[in-house]
Amino acid sequence: MTMKRVDQGMAAAAASVLRRPVTDQLRSRYGQLPFMVRTAGLAATYAFLVAKSEPAEEIGQAYSAVADGIRAHLAGQSPLLATLTHNDQVVKALADLPAADYARASMEIEALAGWLRRLAEAAYRVDKAGSPAPGTAP
């Protein structure tokens, strides 16, 4: 069994959530996420992402992908959260978590958001330059 560092998993999770191309607006929104988790809290950040999710808009699709990524990560950490599919159930479950579990989940999602911010910055530079991302066909 190969051991991986926690940040490797967070980087992979962030890469799976990142929407391309990364516009200036999207880069800015991704950049705000770690601060939002830290100051507003995980439950409030998750509720914000869900509220801003709009399938008809590019930015709304990105918000939805981030919310889905957070829910998927949390589902892997907690059997209670693994069974939840409706966003209001997720917010309620987060609110009901014991303080230590909520703090751990918040730190993990802040790390995920930090990776998302870094990857978005790198992708923005590539997308702005108009060159293909590494590993993709031109």
18-35 pLDDT, tens per residue?
988 999 999 999 999 999
Whole-angstrom Cα distance, residue 41 to residue 37? 5
The pTM (predicted TM-score) of the whole model is: 0.83
Residue 124 has pLDDT above 70, yes or no: yes
* pLDDT recorded at residue 75: 84
Sign of the four-CA dihedral 112, 113, 115, 119: positive
